[in-house]
Amino acid sequence: MFPTFTIQAPSSSIESALQQKIDNKTKPLGALGELESIAFQLGKIQNSITPDVSKAKMIVFAADHGVVAQGISLFPQEVTPQMVMNFLLGGAAVSVFCDQHNVPLRVVDVGVNAKLDEHPLLGARKVAFSSKDFSQEAAMTSAEAVQAIQAGVYEANLAIDDGVNLLMFGEMGIGNTCVSSCMMTALIGISAADSAGRGTGLDPAGVSHKASIIEQSLQRAEQATGQAMTDWNAQTLAEQVGGFEILAMAGAMLQSAERQTAFVVDGFICSVALLFAQKVEPNVREFAVFAHQSNEKAHKTLLEHFNAEPILSLDLRLGEGSGAILAYPLIQSACVFLNKMASFKSAGVSDSQ
C-alpha cells in the first residue's frame, strides 16, 4: 500500500510570544532580516521560544537512473558509486563541509547500480540496481516506489530517535536532474523546455536533447496510464517517472514533518523531492527551511512556487546537500540570536519608544 502521512501543521499559539521576543532584542525592528524569519519558523515548529538545532544530521540518498541510456548526462553512470565512495571516505564537498561544522554524515544506497561494500557511514537500503529507462517503460513498480519512500521514513526515524533536531538532505545519482525536471513538469505543468537545465554542465544542444527525452517520456507515460499527467496521483507519478533517491528524500521529509522536526532543503533536486512530498501531504511544506537558490534553471521557478525565501544564493549547482550544509551556520545563528542576544530591558538599552 502506498504510504500515507498525518502531518499536523505547527501551532500558531506560540506566534505572539516568539514575535515579541524577536522584536525586543537590542536591534531595530526587523534588522536581522531573514534570520528573524528562520528563528520564528523554527520556534513555531519546535513550539518553543528557545529553538535548538545543535544536533543536526546530513543524509545523502544515492541511486542510479535508467534514462541515462538516452545520453542526458555528460557523466557515465559509474560515477554514482564512485562518488558514494568519495562521500564515505571524506573527500566530497558535502563530506568536508559536514566535517567543518561537526555535522554527522550518512549516505544511503537506495538504488546505486553497483554492489557497495559495508561502511559505518553507509545505509544499505537498495531497492534495485537503478530505476528503469522511463522513456521506454515505467521507472519502477508500485512495490519499488513504496520501498524507496519507506527507506527515507526509516532513516528519518533513526535520526530523530537518536535526538537529531534538524535534518538536512542531499542526493547523488547521475541523471537525476533529468528525472527531477521530468517530475517537476508532471507536478506543476510547466514545459519540459522550461524545466530542463544544464545539470552537470550540458551545452544548449544537450539541454534541448534532455527536454525532448522528458517530453517523450511523459507522452509514453500518459499513453501507458491512459491519464493526462495532470491527473496522476502521487503513486502513478512515482512509478512512471520517479527516482529512488528522490522518493527516499520525500519519504524522509514527510516523516520528519510528521514528527514535528524541521528539515533543510538543498537545491533543485531536493526541492523536487519536496514538491512530490507536498503532493502526498501538503503540510510538509511548513517544516522546510530552504538553503539556497541554485544555478539550475528551473530552481527559481520552483522556489517561487513554494513562495520560499532561500537563505543563500551562491550560484551553486553541485547537489549532494552542499548548499544545505553551507546554510547550517546561519540557521544556527538564527537560534543563537533568539536564545542569547540581550533584550532592551536586560541590557538597559532604551528602545525606539
Q: What is the pLDDT of residues 133-148, one digit of tens each?
A: 999 999 999 999 999 9
- Return the C-alpha cell found at 260: 514535528
Q: What's residue 31's pLDDT? A: 96
If you average pLDDT over residues 43-65, what whole number do you get? Answer: 98
- Return the C-alpha cell found at 277: 512530498
Q: Is 281 a catalytic residue?
A: no
Sheet holding 122-124, edge to edge: 122-124, 105-111, 56-63, 166-172, 263-265, 288-290
Asked if residue 119 has pLDDT above 80, the reply is yes
Q: What is the pLDDT of residues 80-104, one digit of tens each?
A: 999 999 999 999 999 999 999 999 9
Asked if residue 347 has pLDDT above 80, the reply is no
Q: Cα torsion at 62, 67, 69, 75 (round to 10°)?
A: -40
Asked if residue 348 has pLDDT above 90, the reply is no
Kindly name the residue from 155, 171, 296, 320 that is annotated as catalytic.
320
End-to-end CA distance of the chain: 59
Cβ proximity of 95 and 86 under 8 Å: yes
- Walk me through the domains of the chain, giving residue ranges and CATH numbers: 56-338 (3.40.50.10210)
Q: Which helix (H) or strand (E) holds 333?
A: helix 322-340
Asked if residue 109 has pLDDT above 70, the reply is yes
Q: What's residue 235's pLDDT? A: 98
Measured distance CA(251)–CA(103) in Å, rounded: 21
If you average pLDDT over residues 29-37, what whole number do you get? Answer: 97
Burial profile 28-52: b = 16 or more Cβ within 10 angstroms, e = fewer: eeeebeebbbbbbbbbbbbeeeebe
3 state DSSP class of 88: helix
If you average pLDDT over residues 207-214, what whole number do you get? Answer: 95
Asked if residue 300 has pLDDT above 90, the reply is yes
The conformation of residue 66, written as its DSSP 8-state character, comes to: G
Asked if residue 217 has pLDDT above 80, the reply is yes
If you average pLDDT over residues 59-78, what whole number do you get? Answer: 96
Q: What's residue 346's pLDDT? A: 84
- pLDDT confidence bin for 298, thresholds 50/70/90: very high
Q: What's residue 154's pLDDT? A: 98
Measured distance CA(184)–CA(182) in Å, rounded: 5
Asked if residue 47 has pLDDT above 80, the reply is yes
Asked if residue 353 has pLDDT above 70, the reply is no
Q: What's residue 342's pLDDT? A: 96
- Return the C-alpha cell found at 5: 502521512
| 139-143, 293-297, 346-350, range with the lowest pLDDT | 346-350
Asked if residue 15 has pLDDT above 90, the reply is yes
If you average pLDDT over residues 238-266, what whole number do you get? Answer: 98
Asked if residue 27 has pLDDT above 80, the reply is yes
Mean pLDDT over all residues of the chain?
96
Which phi and psi (to 5°) does residue 79 adopt? Answer: -65, -30
% of the chain exceeding 70 in pLDDT = 99
Please name every residue paired with 57 in a beta bridge, in sequence order, or none if there are none: 167
Asked if residue 117 has pLDDT above 80, the reply is yes
Q: What's residue 352's pLDDT? A: 64
Give the type of residue at 161.
Answer: D
Asked if residue 324 has pLDDT above 70, the reply is yes
Cβ proximity of 30 and 36 under 8 Å: yes
- pLDDT confidence bin for 206, thresholds 50/70/90: confident
Closest Cα to residue 18, out of 35, 38, 51, 43?
A: 43
- pLDDT confidence bin for 201, thresholds 50/70/90: confident
Strands (E), the chain: 56-63, 105-111, 122-124, 166-172, 263-265, 288-290
